[in-house]
Structure 1
Amino acid sequence: MTTFILAHIKNTHIKDADVTISALKSSTLKTRGIKAKCFGLLTALTVLSVSITVPIAVPTSHAAPIYKVVDEKTGQVTFTDRPQNYEQQTDKTVSQTAVSTGRDTIGQVTGEATSSSAPVSTVNSTDKARKAVSYQLMIAEPSETRAYRRPAQSIEVRVQVTPALQAGDGVRIYLDGSEVAQGLSASIATVDLMPGAHNIKAVIQNEKGRLLKETARTVHVIQNTQTLQNNKKIAQQRLAYQNLPWHQKLLLKLRQKDGSLQTVQNAQPKTNDAFTK
């Protein structure tokens, strides 16, 4: 009996041990399955995160040419992207410049689904284009042999530039080292100029004041001889009158009044006495 009981207990422990081993194996398999699923999910999340955070660059460019409009009368320069508005105006010269408007946009998609855009600067390219321009500057008027009578005549200055001025560049006109105008034309009065030679200079400067081109011309101003003589005569008469004593000045004024009265009487028409009787 005792032997039977011991055998039964032994068989029971063996069965319990088998059950325990089976449960442990099942638990281990489940744990491995869970780990595999977790690893796969982690891998998928990592790939998704990388695909989301990588920037997507879509460059877009919209460039429009810029045209320069020059007023031939005033020399004023205007920049526009609608040249058709000035084509019907005969006093306007329209030319395309090397400057264009451009905008490159880069969109970046993040986990928060945001996007941004940034303009691309064209300063460097514009500077290179300006450095490449070689201007030809000429003073069309006045000519080298031109002389002006003071004070009746004015000096009309007209400047020509080729090719067309770039954005930021401008023309300045100087007389004897002093700036008198900005633009392609100027009118200089001679009333305040002394007779003799005078220097007219035209320069091209950029927006920073750097000299790009210059040219100069010498003109001559002469005094109007007849006007000068008349002015001298009037000045001498005034000086002589100022030096007279007061009673002679009074007598001179009376004579002037009598002379004016006699002039008026002589100007009146005379009538025949035969008709007046």
Structure 2
Amino acid sequence: MSKRSIIPGFRLSLGLSMFYLSILVFIPLSVVFIKSFELSAVEFWQTVTNPRVLASYRVSFMTALGAALINTVFGLIVAWVLVRYQFPGKKLIDALVDIPFALPTAVAGIALTALYAKNGWIGSFLEPLGIKVAYSPLGIVIALTFIGIPFVVRTVQPVIEDMEKEMEEAAVMLGAYRLRTFFQVILPTLYPALLTGFTLAFARGIGEYGSVVFISGNMPLVTEISPLLIMTKLEQYDYAGATAIAAVMLIVSFLLLLLINLLQWRMNRRMTANS
């Protein structure tokens, strides 16, 4: 006899879950591909391999990757400080971490542009040094770092809170240096959470529009992102072209996220086997 769940209603809850996901996720995503099929194979290929479109893919994915890597490092540091140390203003800093979640992305883009423009508070100091932030790929990375940092902090923070300090103390008592304790004792425990935070920040950065469109300058082949090209084609009523670009972004994003999830699954399996 098959085992029954303590809480009944598996079939009903599964049906409701699939219906909910179909309405909100599966059907809208399928429409992207269906709409792009209005183009012939040649037209589709010409659209998605246009030099301007290829450059926008490169800008979107590379800046999102760079920002996610930065957030992974500094998000870990911020989460560690918020969990392991007591200091004045800790609750305020903890609350400020969530500001990018609540702040409209367009407001964030305008604020960052005002700060890092040539005559901005920070940009006026960087410009004489030959460092151009606003209207450059560096500005896009900064914008994506701003909106992605909460994903890493809020993913890693609960794991650090659940870590036992006795494990670190035992490593030190056995003669391990601080760096060795961090890399061989602490970091392996945080790998899955860090990878999850990286994935969330990377996925958010790929599709970000509001905070990037102001600080990037939207220069074709240089700082133009794929979401902006999609919006441009929609404004031109080129729905098939817009969905073709979106379909390519969706496929590449899915493959990258699938690869990251496979790595995370292997890490979890290895950690379970070692324990």
Q: Could you say whether these structures have the same fold, taking a TM-score greater than 0.5 normalized by the shorter chain as the test?
A: no
TM-score by length of 1: 0.18
The structure whose Rg is larger is 1
